[in-house]
Structure 1
Amino acid sequence: MTTGALEGKVALATGSSRGIGRAIAERLARDGAAVGVAYARDETAASETVERIRKNGGLAFALRAELGRHGDARRLWAAFDAAGKDHAPDGKLDIIVNNAGIGRSAALASLTEDGFDEVFAVNVRAPFFIVQQGLSRLREGGRVINISSGAAHLAMPEIIAYGATKGALDTFTRNLAKELGPRGITANSVASGIVDTDFNAAWLRGNPQAEAHAASLAALGRVGQPEDVADIVAFLASNDARWVTGRVIDATGGAGL
């Protein structure tokens, strides 16, 4: 069942077959948007996300878009046009959520040039050109929402490149807000903290000590859930957030206070 807050809107969410991205896609669809579920490789997970949305009365379609290589934004929009023709026959949309990202758990001394290039290609270059090539598609009053990280604002040398990409993404967001403001389009970042997803499963799940430590880092005393981030994205996508732009919304549960 949909709530109608985004009725008639079309959204694209990258990296939305699992984890935070899946929660975002499901929430936007629940609010009435037709959601393009963009995924890199896991077609099964993307199909499951679309099926979950449809079972709950929402609208969704899957499109494959592997990021990190030159031309990835062009291929993504071509896939959007092909898969979304029933929902966006004119190629237009209202909401872009740049959620797809990769991490590199490497400190300064061990980070390779290839590793550095890869994380920046996916986390920074891809969102930049997805938005650049999507500008003519975004309707007036649209939304750009970039999923950032608390690592952009905290010293975490063990993931120095990842943190740097999210800092760059936040700078991109602020400039987008200024650039797109005359069209009534808002641009905001949502900085997530430690969230219980497959991305963190290897060290977090089934490890009470790790979970307790992660929870202790947040002022609210627990590990984040994908829905904690998705609900903030839904607010920013809605008309209620029409006067919020160029901001980095903290979604870490108060980590680092």
Structure 2
Amino acid sequence: MSIERAENRLLFEGSYNFRDLGGFETIDGFTTKYNLIFRSDALHEMTDADSEIFQNELKITTVIDMRTDNAIQKEGLGKAINENIKRIHIPLFSDSDATEWSQKERAPEEPADLVAFYIWVMEKSSDQIVDVIENLIKTDDSVPAVFHCFAGKDRTGIIAAVVLSLLNVHEDHIVDDYAESHKYKHKILERMKRSMTEENYEKFPKELMDAYPETLVAVLQYINNTYGSMKAYALSKGLSNDSIIRMKNLFLE
């Protein structure tokens, strides 16, 4: 069995936002390699057929799970994760962190507030962001790897933007990759409905599941205005220049 693809998206039965980060051109003439780094929504609904492809066709060796402890306890890991796959749990924020932010800043209800949320994550969770990147490049056997959260949009979108920026991918491509999640909004909402009480689902602002290009543009502008570049941001948060060089050696051709 071979997985069907729609451009960079892999058409799994139980995962709607699983995408290959290969094929993106950089500003210095390179291209990101296919079949090494994948971004995704949560994997717990993958079917037996999905798991077979995940393990034996894609040959995933590392899964970086960025969900909270409560989400993992509630949703589980799913069939795709077996004893041959290294699963690393790096929650970008805890349930209490998210509650704290929502109480201080008001839960995001429109794109402008989502920008503030992403910036908050990038500042508060910079250690975790660096940790994700370091685990992607730790050894040659660390890849093929997938990093994921629940919807594959926010936490996953932040990591994808950082990784692609550090690889010098054109900003337009980075923004387009983020906005791709908008196509799967209905799938995200269907999954949320299954995981929430009816009352909580009805209260949840559905527009939060949009992925507007201008949201990520504003976040990247904040990084550039505050730090000078994504590389300067990453270096200031503890990622080494050697790690950035290793990323490029591993993921570019």
| TM-score (normalizing by structure 1) | 0.35
Highest RCO, 1 vs 2 (Cα 8 Å, sep ≥ 6):
2
Q: Whose strand proportion is higher, 1 or 2?
A: 1
TM-score by length of 2: 0.35
